[in-house]
Each structure stands twice: as C-alpha cells, then as structure tokens.
Amino acid sequence: MPLAILALAVGAFGIGTTEFVIVGLLPDVANDLSVSIPQAGLLVTGYALSVVVGAPLMTVAGTRIPQKAMLLLLMGFFIAGNLTCAMASDYGTLMAGRVIAAICHGSFFGIGSVVASRVVEPGREASAVALMFMGLTTANVLGVPLGTLLGQHFGWRSTFWVVAGLGVVGLLGLQFLVPRQEREPGSGVGRELAVFRTPQVWLGLGTTTLGFAGVFASFTYLAPMMTQVAGFPPSAVSWLLVLFGAGLCAGNMLGGKAADRALMPTLYTVLGGLAVVLLLFTFTSHTRLAAAVTVTVFGAVAFATVPPLQLHILRQTKGAPALASSANISAFNLGNALGAWLSGLAIDHGLGYTAPNWIGALLAAAGLGVALLSGRLNRRDPKHRVVRDSVAGIST
C-alpha cells in the first residue's frame, strides 16, 4: 500500500482518538462540570451532529480546492477544536470545542476514502479504505484507552492537549506523504450533487445511519454499563476499551478483505451479526467474563461494517464520489447521534444501563432491512445501475 494511505491513517488516528475518548471520560467530565451522565453523553451527540452538518458543507466548499490542500485545512480545524477542549472551563466551551473538531471529521474521511481508493489498483479499493480506517481502529486500541488513563490520572483536559499534539503529527504526515491530488476534468458541485438522483445512494446512506446507530447506542454508555452493571472498577474501563479496540482492528481488516470479494453478502452478514451480538450483550453484560468477551466481539462486528458501507457508496458514485462519500460519513455520525440520543432517553426513563444494547440490536436489524432492500433493487431493476453509470459519465 502507498505511503499516502499511511499518512491518511495517521490523521484518522488523531480524529478517532478525539471522537471516542470522550466515552471513557464521561464520568470524569460529568463530575468535574457538575452535569449528569446523559448530559455528558450529549458531547457524543453534539460531535456527531456537527459531523453530519460539517461533512457536506466542507466538501462542497472544497470542491475547487486540491484535495491535499483541503485535507491540510481540515486538520487545522481538528487542532483548533482540541485546543479549545483542552482549555475549556465549562460545559458550553467544551461542547464548542467538540463542534469545531467535528467540522473536519466527515470531509476528512470522505475525501480521504476517495484518495485511498484511487492510489491502489482496481479490486483493492475496500482494503485501501480499510487500511486508512485502521488509523481509526488503532485509535481505539491505543489512543482511547491511553487517553482515558491519562485523563483519569491527570484530569480529562490533559487528554485533549495530547490529542491536539497528535493533530500536529497528522498535519506533518499529510504534508510530506500525500501526493498532490488534481481535480478531475469537469468536476464541480453540480456533478457531485447529481449522484444523489440515484435511489441506491439514499438507500446506502440509510443503511449506514441505522447500522451505525446500533453501534453507538451501546458504545456511548459502555463505561457506566461496565462499572454499574458488570461490576468492573473504573480503572478497568481503559482495558475494556483495549479489548474493544482489538476487536475493531480485526473486524475492520476482515470486513475490507471480504467486501473486496463479495460486497453485499459481506454487508448483510456483518449487520446481522451486529444485531445478534448486541442482543446477547443485554444478558452477558451482567457477568464480568462474559461482558469482556462480548465487548471484544462487539468491536469486531462493529467495524467490520465500515469498509463495506463506505465502498457501497463509492461504487454507486464513480466519477463524482467526494460529496457522497462525505455524506456517508455524515450518515455514520447521524447514526452515532441517533443511537446515543435514544439510549440516553432510555436511561433517563429508568430502563437501566443494559437498555442501550437491545436498542442497538433493533437499530442494526433495521439497517440490515434497508441493505436487503438495496440489494433486491439492484437485482430486480437494472435501470438503477444504468442511472448510476450515466451520472458517473456526466461531463466526460
């Protein structure tokens, strides 16, 4: 794999750390800022919703900017947001910093996915995207547990200072390892918007939203679930996140390789597996050993969904993929916000910390249903593939 993908993975590592580390720090943030756990959980929702809005806006704003320059600009927003979080003295400032950092997220992964898929030979696109997203999964293995441990010992603000430093490393990697990316002839906002005439694009976005809502319905409240239901001490949360992250790495790479061979069957399998694992988690979360094993498997099926979901959108939008790819990252984060919000609502209404698991299972099953509809539409109505190909051929 080209070094450009390594640089993208470095950037993804920093972004992934700042997105997910808040989960391990929720109790500390809530105590320090005198807010409830569900209110602290809104820091996850606020970040996710900011990605939803920021991804398409930043991508559209950057349609006439070389992709490398755009990636550098986005990393600048990331650094600024984390510095704001590190200096936050109240809940509002912390939320503002999360919003600023989130503005770069969707567009970075959307444009980065396009760059990654173009610098490898045909047939390896999903593996290239998976390798870029390996930075995100590695963040869960190393960045999130270490950030949680750092925050527990030196205060949660120290974590964001370190994450801002990671952003600087990512910025340097992009500058020196990513080659200049020229815009394709005829590219522009109109061509990017045209792909949304294809029904399969909207079905793909719906699959991503519901499927990943299932992941974050449970993951957002993993820390209180493990301490208050499974009975782990708070110090064990960082190690449980290591297990989750190890599962992410394995699932991400296996999902990428499987999607290169058989995209839709892989998508059906991982979404179905996610629903089953989350349903079982409702029961296994009461026992330490069973909970730890389930956390690992949960991580694997959660990120095995990412490469097929992203490749599904890229294959529907060949020729003008940047905006749709970023919109799919928005869909991931819309799912994050939806899942976190629904689970917080359930906890506020007294359903307990296991409720996020069965809520996640229902959401993942709904995502599977939309994916099956998309596959059926492709088989029964070939004209949608013709529409997709004609959109891809605009201005050629």
Contacts of 380 (CB under 8 A, 6+ apart): none
Per-residue pLDDT, 392: 35
What whole-number distance in Å separates Cα of residue 13 and Cα of residue 208? Answer: 21
Nearest alpha carbon to residue 107 among 338, 312, 313, 325: 325
CA dihedral over 267, 126, 101, 161, signed as positive or negative:
positive
Helix (H, G, I), strand (E, B) or coil at 366: helix
Which one is predicted more confidently, 395 or 133?
133
Pairwise CA distance, residues 226 & 207, whole Å: 29
Give residue-wise pLDDT tens across range 195-223.
Answer: 677 777 888 888 889 988 999 898 888 88
pLDDT-derived band at 182 (thresholds 50, 70, 90) equals low
Taking only the tens place, the pLDDT of each residue in 74-87 is 989 899 999 999 99
pTM for the model stands at: 0.68
In this model, does residue 72 exceed pLDDT 50? yes
d(CA 145, CA 242): 6
Taking the C-alpha atoms of residue 217 and residue 93, their distance in angstroms, rounded to an integer, is: 25
Nearest to 245 by CA among 340, 130, 144, 151: 144
pLDDT at 349: 84
CATH architecture type of domain 3-392: Up-down Bundle (1.20)
- Which comes out higher in pLDDT, residue 328 or 195? 328
**pLDDT for residue 341 is more than 70:** yes
Report yes or no: 207 and 267 within 8 Å, Cβ to Cβ: yes
